[in-house]
Amino acid sequence: MQPVINPQLRAYRPFIGPFDPCPPMLVKTYVIPPNLTMPLQPPGLPQFSPAEALRIGTLWPAYFSPYESRRC
């Protein structure tokens, strides 16, 4: 497997049955939200500016998870 560049991205190898009608996907990926790896908010986290926080959707960079479309 390749090294994971995005720390929020996880991968696994699903079971491939001998009688599956579709071509198998060897590796499937999914994204975990950042609040699962940091459940409690420590004091003194850096913050985005108010305008940037409204654009991005969160005040703290540690909780930011960009959406990447699979179509691109």
Whether residue 18 has pLDDT greater than 80: yes
The answer, as to whether pTM is greater than 0.85, is no
User: Rounded to an integer, what distance in angstroms lies between the CA atom of residue 72 and that of residue 54?
Assistant: 25
pLDDT band for position 54 (50/70/90)?
very high
Q: Which domain holds residue 52?
A: 7-14+28-34+46-72
pLDDT of res. 40: 82
Asked if residue 60 lies in contact with residue 41, where contact means CB atoms within 8 angstroms, the answer is: yes
Residue 2 belongs to a domain: no
The number of distinct structural domains making up the chain is 1
Strand, coil or helix: 51: helix
Residue 21 belongs to a domain: no
Which residue spans within the chain are E strands per DSSP? 9-12, 28-31
DSSP structure class, residue 15? -
